[in-house]
Structures are given as structure tokens and as C-alpha cells.
Amino acid sequence: MALKNWALRKSLWVYHVNTGACNNCDIEVLELLTPKYDIERFGMILVGTPRHADVLAVTGACTRQAQPRLQEVYRQTPKPCVVMAIGSCAGAQGIFAESYHMGAGVDTAIKAVDPDAIIVYVPGCPPKPEAMIAAAVKAMELIKTL
Amino acid sequence: MNAFGIIGIYIAAAAGTLAIGLYLRWFDRKVTAMVQWRKGPPWYQPVADVLKLFYKETLMPATARGTGFLIAPAIGLAASALVAAMLWSAVLTPETGFVGDLIVVVYLLLIPPLMTILGASASGSPHAAIGASREMKLILSYELPFFLAMLVAVIRTDWTLQLGPIASAGVVPLYSISGVIAMIIAILAMQAKLGQVPFDTAEAECEIMSGVYVEYSGVPLAIIYLGRAMMLAVMPLLLITVFWGGLEPTGWGIPAFIGKYLLLVVLVTLIRNTNPRLRIDQIMRFFWFGVAPLGIAAVVLAYLGKAWAIKWL
């Protein structure tokens, strides 16, 4: 088990899901790959398909259109996996909370598929890359408890 | 040699090449990070990646043909392990082997890409189908120049078709005009065989979402990862054996061999980091109308050099 935890913590592959974000959080996610922050130091890389992913980096307020797609992406991700709700919108729908076109919110949508899903919230509009790295570290700690 | 000896060599070569390949994967990523002014992953990163993938869930798409989908990566890995065993025994004990094992190696090297195509087609995903068709065109593009490059080495070493004698012939094919051209062609073909940028159209992670590998997860993905690591170890070894004199059993032989090996891997990494991805039609035009005529020219030069006994031609 120790080996499993070690391997899971040291190699988190991130898939980026946009559920109706304004692109600001997405730019900050890309910031993580730049020389200044370089998350590959921790073995994290961005992958192109949810089938390869361990972390779903979800940005955006989860619109009604995006909600079933987000749930499908979560179903397509091999478990164990972690959902990172990046930004105020992904955390609690931000300023769009009572708009007519909103879905249930990222955490509610994911919990509807899998009640035991691990969800890490990263507040901020947009959150700083440092905050995302801190969230990734917390996600690693959560994976330890699996 | 009895059957147990052969199986022992096969397993030892496979395990050793796997270790070297995983190390080279890290080396490749570290050099990439250095090129981009980053720190890069720690040395155990490929091991952590593979272990993690073994512990992940294996998902099967509803549209997939299960057997072909799951067995294809394993056959690809077994084929590259067989190539590794043949190459290492040719490098370490040049007198073993059989006439024509170069041809067998070149054909066995075709199996991993073919298995990639098979697995991608069996997954039933449209992205994988596009990736598989691109991979097929990629094979059609680079195989002819690759054969021509190998033919140059065969001509330069007096029509030797055996890996061990080519490596220890005394004539190093690289140290001649035709040899240099053939080496450049072989490096380009190696880049395409490894599926690295600029020839990674088959997996193109931002346009067709990792293409041929899109539906793989868990253990099959780990086997694909291992197979690719093994190919990264095998291809430079083949090039050194055929063009660059193999492993010389002298005092400076081993450091020189390691130097050549790492040089070729660094070359792959640098080409990968300084080029954009080509479209599949650009790749085909490049290999058929650019590289293949160059290969024919190198073969003619090598033949003339042999006929007129000019060493440097």
C-alpha cells in the first residue's frame, strides 16, 4: 500500500476541463507549466485525454450545457482520481450563481455521479499558481487516505 | 545453446533494456526541462509513472473489441524486447547470431507501430481511428528511407547482413560521405519511429487527444509506456551497432559507447524541442521526395566507393 500511495502522489497527471470559464483561470493553469512554477518538478504533467488523468482541473461555473459533459468526463477518468475545482466559479459559481443558464455547480455535479469523489477547492478569481500548487499538495495528502 | 539459455538471455535483455529505457525517458524529460529553463522531474519519475498506472483502474470503452484492444500493447512490448535481445547479443558477443538477423530486426521493429494501429482501431474511438490512419501513413513514409540507410551500411561492410560482423567489421560505415548521409536519414527515421515531434501526428495530444492512445488507461497504458521506453533504448542501440562500430572491447570502448548512446538520445530530444509538429501530408512529402532520393544517392555513393575502392566515399 505504501508503494501505491507513493506512486500515486509522485505522478499526478492533470486533465484540464473548462465548464464555461472566462479563460482567466485557464491562463493561470497554463502558468503552472512555465519555468517559474514548473509543476513537472512534482511529476505532474498535462495530458490530452481524461483516460490518462489522475486530476481533473475543472475551471468555470458549470453551465447547464457543460454539466452532463463534466459528469461524462468524470466517468471516463480511471479511479482513484481527484477533482480540483479551480476559481470562485468552480467552487461556488461565483457571481453567476443565480443566473438562468447555470447547472448544479461543479461539486454537486460530480457528487451526483460519485458521492465519494475527492474534491479540492482552490478559491480566487483567478487563483494564483501558488494556490494551485498548494491544492495539488493537499490532493496528494488526500490520496494517501485512500 | 539450449532453450533455457535463450529464454534467460531474452528475459535479461528485456529487463536491462527496460531499465535503460526508463532511465532514458527521464533523461529525455530532464534535457527538455533544461532546454526550457525549467528544473524538470526527479530521477525516479518514470518508475513512479509506471507504478501508478499499474495501480489505476483499467477502463474499457463500450465500442471496443476487448481482445485486440488489450493484447496489442503486450505484443508490441514483446516484439521490442525481442529486438533488444538480438541487438544486445550482437553487441556483446559479435560471433553469435545468424545471417540476415539485420533484416529480422528491421522487420521486428515494424511490429510495435503495427500493434499501435491494431489497438487504436480496436478501441472504436474516432480520435484513435484518425490517429491509426496517420500512423499507417507515417510507417509508409519512413520505412523506405530507413531501409535505404541500412542498405548503405550493408554495402560498406562488404554485403554483410549479420549484426555482429557489421559492428565488428573494422570498417565503420559512419566515417564516409555515404555513411554520414545514411546516419542522418536513420536519425530522421528513428525520430519518426519513436513518434517524437515533429513526427508525432499520430498522437498529437492537442488536436486529436493523444490519438492512438486515447482510450487506454491503467495497465495497458503502463505497458504502452514501457514499450515506448524500450523503443527509446533500442533505436539508438541499432544505429550505433549498424553505423557506428558497436561496442569495442577496448579500454575506451565502453565510455565511448555510452557517449554515443547519450549523444543520439540528446539529438532526439533536441530535435523534439526545436521543431513544430508537421502535418501528415508534409511528413509524407518530406520522406518520399526529400529523404528517399537522398537515401538512393547515399546507396549509389556507397556502391561506387566499394567498386572503385575509395574509402571516404
Tell me if chain B has a CB within 8 Å of the CB of A7.
yes
Question: Is the bond into B165 cis (omega within 30 degrees of 0)?
Answer: no
Residue with cell 527509446: B232
Residues of chain A found within 8 Å of residue B42, distances taken between Cβ atoms = 10, 41, 43
SS3 content of chain A, % helix, strand, coil (to 5): 45, 15, 35
Question: Quick check: B215 and A79 CB within 8 A?
Answer: no
Tell me if chain B has a CB within 8 Å of the CB of A8.
yes
Alpha helices, H only, A2-128: 2-10, 24-31, 66-76, 87-92, 106-113
Residues of chain B found within 8 Å of residue A11, distances taken between Cβ atoms = 45, 48-49, 51-52
Residue B171, pLDDT above cutoff 80: no
For residue A15, what is the nearest residue in chain B, using CA coordinates?
A: B209
Burial grade of B47 (CB within 10 A; 0-12, 13-18, 19 or more): middle
For residue A45, what is the nearest residue in chain B, using CA coordinates?
A: B41
Q: How far is B210 from chain A (nearest CA, A)?
A: 6
Tell me if chain B has a CB within 8 Å of the CB of A72.
no
Q: What is the pLDDT of residue B300?
A: 92
For residue A47, what is the nearest residue in chain B, using CA coordinates?
A: B205
Cβ atoms of B223 and B73 within 8 Å: the answer is: yes
Tell me the mean pLDDT in the region B158-175.
Answer: 78
Residues of chain A found within 8 Å of residue B58, distances taken between Cβ atoms = 78
Mean confidence (pLDDT) of chain A = 86
Cα separation, B199 vs B285, in Å, equals 13
Residue B202, pLDDT above cutoff 80: no
For residue B50, what is the nearest residue in chain A, using CA coordinates?
A: A7
Residue B169, pLDDT above cutoff 80: no
Cβ atoms of B145 and B291 within 8 Å: the answer is: yes
**Range of weakest confidence among B96-105, B142-151, B168-177, B257-266:** B168-177
> Which residues are registered as beta bridge partners of A119?
A83
Q: What is the pLDDT of residue B1?
A: 61
Cβ atoms of B190 and B235 within 8 Å: the answer is: yes
Using DSSP's 3-state secondary structure scheme, residue A113 falls into helix
Residues of chain B found within 8 Å of residue A3, distances taken between Cβ atoms = 51
Backbone phi and psi for residue A16, each to the nearest 5 degrees, phi listed first = -95, 120
Tell me the mean pLDDT in the region A30-51.
Answer: 87
Cβ atoms of B144 and B188 within 8 Å: the answer is: no
Residue A146, pLDDT above cutoff 70: no
Cα separation, A59 vs A91, in Å, equals 9
Residue B293, pLDDT above cutoff 90: yes
Q: What is the pLDDT of residue B7?
A: 84
C-alpha cell at B36: 526550457
For residue A6, what is the nearest residue in chain B, using CA coordinates?
A: B48
What percent of chain B has a predicted confidence (pLDDT) above 70?
100
Which top CATH class is A9-144? Answer: alpha beta
Model ipTM? Answer: 0.84
**Range of weakest confidence among A48-62, B150-164, B194-208, B294-308:** B194-208
Residues of chain B found within 8 Å of residue A80, distances taken between Cβ atoms = 56-57
Q: Which helix (H) or strand (E) holds A136?
A: helix A129-144
Tell me the mean pLDDT in the region B45-50.
Answer: 91
Backbone phi and psi for residue A102, each to the nearest 5 degrees, phi listed first = -85, 145
Tell me the mean pLDDT in the region B46-65.
Answer: 86
DSSP characters over chain B: --HHHHHHHHHHHHHHHHHHHHHHHHHHHHHHHHHTT-----TTHHHHHHHHHHHS-----TTS-HHHHHHHHHHHHHHHHHHHHHHHHHHH-TT-S-TTHHHHHHHHTTHHHHHHHHHHHHHT-HHHHHHHHHHHHHHHHHHHHHHHHHHHHHHHTTS---HHHHHTSS--TTSSHHHHHHHHHHHHHHHHHTT-TTS-TTT-TTTSTTGGGTT--HHHHHHHHHHHHHHHHHHHHHHHHHHS----SSTTHHHHHHHHHHHHHHHHHHHHHS-PPPPHHHHHHIIIIIIHHHHHHHHHHHHHHHHTT-TT-
What percent of chain B has a predicted confidence (pLDDT) above 90?
27
Q: Using 50, 70 and 90 to split pLDDT, how confident is the model at B125?
A: confident
Residue with cell 480520435: B127
Q: Using 50, 70 and 90 to split pLDDT, how confident is the model at A45?
A: confident
Residue B168, pLDDT above cutoff 80: no
Q: Using 50, 70 and 90 to split pLDDT, how confident is the model at B288?
A: very high
- What does the domain layout of chain B look like in residue ranges? 3-307
Name which of B37, B48, B206 is nearest A7 (Cβ-Cβ). Answer: B48
Chain-centroid distance of CA B159 in Å reads: 23
Mean confidence (pLDDT) of chain B = 87
Substitution target in A6, A11, A18 with the highest count of B β-carbons within 10 Å is A11
pLDDT in tens, A53-89: 888 999 988 888 889 999 999 988 988 888 999 988 8
Residue B15, pLDDT above cutoff 70: yes
Residues 43-62 of A with CB under 8 A from B: 43, 47-49, 51-52, 54
Residue B310, pLDDT above cutoff 90: no
Q: Which helix (H) or strand (E) holds A119?
A: strand A118-122
Q: Which of B163, B172, B147 is nearest to B86 (CA)?
A: B163
Question: Quick check: B210 and A3 CB within 8 A?
Answer: no
Amino acid at A1: M
Q: What is the pLDDT of residue B305?
A: 86
Q: What is the pLDDT of residue B187?
A: 92
